[in-house]
Amino acid sequence: MSESKTLNNLMEAFAGESQANRKYTAYSKKAEADGKINAAKLFKAAADAETLHALKHFEVAGKIHTTAENLKDAVAGETHEFTEMYPDFLKTAEAEGNQDAIKTFTFAMKAEAVHARLYQEALENLDQSEEVFYYLCPLCGNIEKAVPDKCAICGVPGSSFIKY
């Protein structure tokens, strides 16, 4: 799709719907922790609806390509995050003394480096037929190909990792 107002609108809608998904997911978790099950379920359903919208906007915008191209895009995005974005965010958080932000930016920056490596590895092994499993740290977002004793980034026990 050529650059147009509609393409810009699709991408703005994609960003907004994607953010709404994450926001409503966070609200759902909070409502569930508060014992407000009906509100939690509504937030979860709305989060899933926002995902449907975001995915369709992204598709219509012509942003989904071959798997190889998508992997290259993912490598570039993750690399930008751990080499440029998060280091800048960390400097600001450190200057402001915001310890919680320092921690979350550090975890994300380290995890994004792992993600970039795994995407590159997947690209290099795209035609591999053997199934690979991935394990996600639920605290920092680190991804491993085997369950570790503990997360190399945040120290969470490997038994907490989620299998994909």
Residue 92, domain extent: 66-129
Determine the Cα–Cα distance for residues 119 and 126; give it in Å rounded to an integer.
10
Q: Mark which of 14, 40, 60 sits at the end of a domain.
A: 60
Q: Mark which of 60, 76, 94 sits at the end of a domain.
A: 60
- How many whole angstroms from its chain centre is CA 55? 14
Let me know whether 70 and 117 are in one domain: yes
Residues of the chain below pLDDT 70? 1-2
Q: What is the pLDDT of residues 95-111, one digit of tens each?
A: 999 999 999 999 999 99
Q: Cα dihedral sign for 10, 13, 19, 21?
A: negative
Question: Interior CA angle at 93 toward 90 and 99, to 5°?
Answer: 105
